[in-house]
Structure 1
Amino acid sequence: MGAVVHAVHLSPTHSFSKTTQFSIRVLEGLGVEGDAHMGVTVKHRFHVKRDPTAPNLCQVHLIPDELHDTLQAAGFPVTAGQLGENITTRGMTLADLPVGTRLAIGNDVVLELTAMRNPCVWIERFMPGLLAQVKTTDENGKVIRKAGVMSIVLQGGEVHAGDPIAVTLPPLPHRALKPI
């Protein structure tokens, strides 16, 4: 079985977690219809404070469901949507994909990966100890971020749980996703 959409979520407010939906509609160049982070310019409060005119590279947030499995095994009862993602995937390692990777979802939707999500204090406030689980370091001291990836919408449409995801890598040389 290839990569699929496990679940979809949105929140009309800037709440940390998002509510699971039957489907979401993503709009080209904007993001998830009805979600607080939808728009051409940045909507995350931290980014708005820095430059409210900056382009929104965080239109759709994706997290692999395998992260939830790992967190649950470590004693953190986290489920899909609770970490603020719009799309929970299964069967793909999002963090290993380069900038510019295109994800074709279902029949119509195409997203382009832009950045890693940079886990922040809100994750710790949501569940004490969770930040240390999603932002770790390897044996060389390199920071490893496990809170998903951000993307922009190249082609809109409906996304449902169970939709297949096809991955198209950008031309070489590949650039690693950086935190945003």
Structure 2
Amino acid sequence: MSALIVAVHRSASHGFSKTTRGSVTLLEGLGVEGDAHCGVTVQHRSRVAADPSQPNLRQVHLIHEELFDALRESGYSVAPGDLGENITTRGIDLLSLPVGARLTLGTAVVTITGLRNPCQQINEFQPGLLKHVVRSEGDGRVVRLAGVMGIVSRGGRAAAGDPIDVQLPPEPHLPLTRV
């Protein structure tokens, strides 16, 4: 199975879930047109409060639909857009990509910057869900499963059904950390 976009989402408000659209426009250096997180500088409310001049490394949020499959097996009902992602994918291991991987999504290119670090809001969406998307391993390592974040390196349109092409950066590859 080749990698593809399952669904695309945006929301003009800072709510938790995003509305599914037929397509979205990605604006170079900004993010998803019409989305609350679109901007050159950080748009996430807690980060704006800490330092509004930080660069926005979280312009686009991608989640693999396979996570929803696993969550359903644990008794949760989660659909594309529910966890606030802009792009839902299938057939690509987003979490294993290195920093700087470039994904061609429709006519746009998104460069991966790091892992999403979900917060307590996820438990407000469905109680107990946070422990299924962030967990600690026996060695104390934190595993984040709630997708990846990126910046728009080339603007364009992305839609459900579009294939995803991955271009890895030159080695050495740096593992993703939270952004």
TM (norm. structure 2) is 0.98
Return the alpha-carbon distance in structure 2 between the equivalents of residues 17 and 61 of structure 1.
12
- Structure 2 residue aligned with 1:58: 58
Q: Is residue 160 of structure 2 the alignment partner of residue 151 of structure 1?
A: no
AA paired with 1:175?
L
SS across alignment from 2:38: coil
Aligned to 1:43: 43
Distance between the aligned counterparts of 1:26 and 1:140, measured in 2?
A: 39
2: CA distance, partners of 1:127 / 1:154: 34
For the residues of structure 2 that align with 1:41 and 1:143, how far apart are their CA atoms? 27
Higher mean displacement: 139-148 or 83-92: 139-148
| Runs of 5+ consecutive residues of structure 2 not aligned to the other structure | none
SS of 1:115's equivalent in the other structure is: strand
Structure 1 gaps, min length 5: none
Q: Percent identity?
A: 56
How far did 1:125 drift?
1.2
| Separation in structure 1 between the aligned mates of residue 136 and residue 8 of structure 2, nearest angstrom | 29
Show the counterpart of 1:135: 134
- For residues 101-126 of structure 1, what are the alpha-carbon distances to aligned partners after superposition, in whole Å with 9 as ceiling and x for unaligned? 000112x2100000100011111111
Give 1:50 deviation, angstroms: 1.1
Secondary structure of 1:15 counterpart? coil
- Counting matched residue pairs gives 179
Please show how residues 81-100 of structure 1 align to structure 2 within 5 Å: 81-100=81-100
Letter in 2 for 1:25: T
* Superposed displacement of residue 49, structure 1: 0.9
Q: Secondary structure at the match of 1:170?
A: coil
Q: What RMSD over aligned residues (CA atoms) do the two structures have, in Å?
A: 0.8
